[in-house]
Amino acid sequence: MHTSTRRDDDYVGVAPIVEETYACDLGVGRLLLADDLPLELQLPDPGRLPRPRSGARSRWTDAVERYFGGEPVVFDLDVTAYAAAHGLTEFERDVFASLSRVPYGTVVSYRDLAHAAGRPNAYRAAGSVMAGNHLPVILPCHRVIKNDGRLGLYGDDPAWKERLLALERVRVAEGRVTA
């Protein structure tokens, strides 16, 4: 572990930030934490090198490695603390709270997610919240799909959405979730 080059004042009211790396078959990923609160997760990259470890790793790093190893993991994120650290709006917090309850191996539509967040007509806005997710996998935005079953976008590399769903044994054919 080492202290991130990110400035602590980029986040609201958090402890000093540390960076940990995790390794899996898909490469090495990166996780930023403030005490026991994950702030950012970068998906694995086969070209990234792991950081030397010093001391114990967080439970989050272990859980992410178990997830990428194929184990169904439930991430017990304190969404309220995460939202406060990122300065999120009440709507964003509610969407992420609803997202955190989507079970491993299942999908919901953007419309269903907006409804679960108490804003049934805000499904496009819920999609915008997903686009700003700093914790993919922990906040499983890959489990949110379009109403017609198509996967939709996923950051810079849409193939990740299908990879993550496949890891959770969700069947996808031709860019669409199948029964």
Residue among 32, 141, 164, 170 flagged as catalytic: 141
- Kindly report, residue by residue over 57-67, the tens digit of the pLDDT: 899 999 999 99
Residues 120 and 118: their CA atoms lie apart, in Å, by 6
Residue carrying the six token digits 């939709």: 152
Same domain, 50 and 98: no
Same domain, 122 and 142: yes
Residue carrying the six token digits 């499904």: 123
DSSP letters spanning 55-76: SPPPHHHHHHHHHHTT------
Same domain, 57 and 130: no
| Cβ atoms of 139 and 129 closer than 8 Å | no
Same domain, 89 and 164: yes
Same domain, 89 and 136: yes
Whether residue 102 is predicted with pLDDT greater than 80 in this model: the reply is yes
| Domain of residue 127, residue span | 79-177
In-domain check, residue 19: yes
- Kindly report, residue by residue over 53-95, the tens digit of the pLDDT: 767 889 999 999 999 999 999 999 999 999 999 999 999 999 9
Tell me the pTM: 0.89
Question: Is there a catalytic annotation at residue 24?
Answer: no
How many domains are there within the chain?
2
| Cβ atoms of 88 and 16 closer than 8 Å | no
In-domain check, residue 74: no
Task: Please report, rounded to a whole number, the percentage of residues in the chain having pLDDT higher than 90.
Answer: 77
Same domain, 112 and 131: yes
**Which tokens belong to 18?**
């540390």
Task: Please report, rounded to a whole number, the percentage of residues in the chain having pLDDT higher than 70.
Answer: 92
- pLDDT score of 79: 97
In-domain check, residue 73: no
Same domain, 61 and 87: no
Same domain, 49 and 91: no
Same domain, 109 and 39: no
- pLDDT score of 124: 93
Whether residue 5 is predicted with pLDDT greater than 70 in this model: the reply is no
| Cβ atoms of 130 and 141 closer than 8 Å | yes
167: domain CATH number is: 1.10.10.10
Residues 5 and 15: their CA atoms lie apart, in Å, by 14
Residue carrying the six token digits 């269903």: 112
- pLDDT score of 10: 67
In-domain check, residue 87: yes
Same domain, 98 and 141: yes
Same domain, 44 and 93: no
**H or E element in which residue 79 lies:** helix 79-86
Same domain, 100 and 14: no
